[in-house]
Amino acid sequence: MKVAIIGAGAVGGLLTARLGATEAEVTLVARPNAATAIRRNGLTMVTPLNRVARLTPRVTDDSLSLGPQDLVFLCVKAHALRGTIDTLTPLLGPETAIVPMINGIPWWYPHRQPEPLADRPLASVDPDGLLWRSIDPDRVVGATTFVAVEGDGPCRLRHVSDQRFVFGDAGGDAAGRDNPAVDRIVTLFGQAGFQPAKTTDIRQAIWVKLWGNLAFNPLSVLTGSTLGRLCNDPGTRETGRAMMLEAKAVAERLGVVFTTSVDERIAMAAGVGDFKTSMLQDYEAGRRLELEAILGSVIELAERCGMEVPMLRAVSAMVDLRARERREVVA
């Protein structure tokens, strides 16, 4: 099985390290500078048990050299997906499955869904429909993960906790099909020592993950606090809870059925401990935030449903201003 991983960030590095230990032919596709650094220094991974593994993965900055792959994992920020299209195209054969490992509501979410979605792209994550036109949603295997992993210096990553991944066909039950690529991915991730699961309702899994992200990622930027601190402080916990309840109402209007309560989801987040959210890591590094995918998309879905989400709007506005002020200072 040929597997390409686009993106040399924390998640891309983790998948490269772990999937590369299986029988699959795994190649990391990175930007030229990152590819050069990894070829020179290798990749160092610190496990949740503080064991250090030094790896020499197959890496390239030229996807044309690889040819068609069986699986392609997109491990970039949601707003960077548009920049992967030229890299992705040479990797596609007739049966290639595309697996976006991204935060928030993905661009393919309206695929084969009833009104108010009805195959209409979301402006918050795909402003001009470029992703919708360029990446066939029928190729997509939806994915979400609960692993906590972070960059820990050049060519180095730290896997903090958790091993869970959930995969499902982007068409969902509406497609009326069983996508064999999902089974191949679940088997591969099991061989890599992860805890993968298959679902017929990947949108429900995406909302469970997003539920925590949409509350505590933005709050971490506003406060500078870790996930554990935010979940255990009474004030920020209640603020996050109010945001999650607004999002829950939107998701339920779209047909999502939650089998986890808000408080159970907060407890899951608190269990990660003193971990900086990906959004806080991006803010501190001066990188663009995934605000549109994580909050803007939910606000847009609320608008389509004719619903008010005042807490989500307020927090989104504050984080957006804070991010713009930081960019002005850096500039």
Same domain, 223 and 310: yes
Same domain, 183 and 209: no
Same domain, 195 and 225: no
Same domain, 170 and 240: no
Query: What pLDDT, on the 0 to 100 scale, is given for residue 177?
Result: 63
DSSP 79-118: GGGGGGHHHHGGGEEEEEEEEE--SSS-TTTTTT--TTTT
3-state helix, strand, coil in the chain (%, to 5): 50, 20, 35
Same domain, 174 and 233: no
Per-residue pLDDT of the chain (331 residues; tens, 9 = 90+): 999 999 999 999 999 999 999 999 999 999 999 999 999 999 999 999 999 999 999 999 999 999 999 999 999 999 999 999 999 999 999 999 999 999 999 999 999 999 999 999 999 999 999 999 999 999 999 999 999 898 888 899 999 888 999 999 998 654 456 789 999 999 999 999 999 999 999 999 999 999 989 999 999 999 999 999 999 999 999 999 999 999 999 999 999 999 989 999 999 889 888 889 999 999 998 999 999 999 999 999 999 999 999 999 999 999 999 999 987 665 4
Q: CA-CA distances (angstroms) from residue 206 to 70, 166, 203, 214?
A: 24, 9, 5, 12
Which of 200, 227, 262 is at the close of a domain? 200
Cα(279)–Cα(12) distance, rounded to whole angstroms? 17
Same domain, 229 and 145: no
Query: Phi/psi class of residue 62: alpha, beta or left (left: φ > 0; alpha: ψ in -120 to 50)?
Result: beta
Q: Is there a catalytic annotation at residue 209?
A: yes
CATH number, domain with residue 213: 1.10.1040.10
Which of 150, 177, 200 is at the close of a domain? 200
Same domain, 185 and 228: no
Q: 3-class DSSP state for residue 139?
A: helix
Query: What pLDDT, on the 0 to 100 scale, is given for residue 43?
Result: 95
Which of 172, 200, 228 is at the close of a domain? 200
Query: What pLDDT, on the 0 to 100 scale, is given for residue 27?
Result: 98
Same domain, 247 and 123: no
Query: What pLDDT, on the 0 to 100 scale, is given for residue 212?
Result: 86
Measure CA of the first residue to CA of the last residue in the chain; give whole Å: 45
Q: Minimal CA–CA distance to 142: which of 98, 183, 77, 193?
A: 98
* Selected catalytic residue, list 77, 209, 248, 276: 209
Q: Which two structure tokens, joined as six digits, stand for 227?
A: 């996930």
Number of domains in the chain: 2
Query: What pLDDT, on the 0 to 100 scale, is given for residue 152?
Result: 82
pTM of the full structure = 0.93
Same domain, 219 and 188: no
Q: Which two structure tokens, joined as six digits, stand for 232?
A: 């255990």
Cis peptide before 114 (omega within 30 of 0): no
Query: What pLDDT, on the 0 to 100 scale, is given for residue 145?
Result: 93
CATH number, domain with residue 105: 3.40.50.720
Query: What pLDDT, on the 0 to 100 scale, is given for residue 175?
Result: 47
Same domain, 14 and 66: yes
Same domain, 129 and 217: no
Same domain, 63 and 132: yes
Residue 286 belongs to domain spanning: 205-330
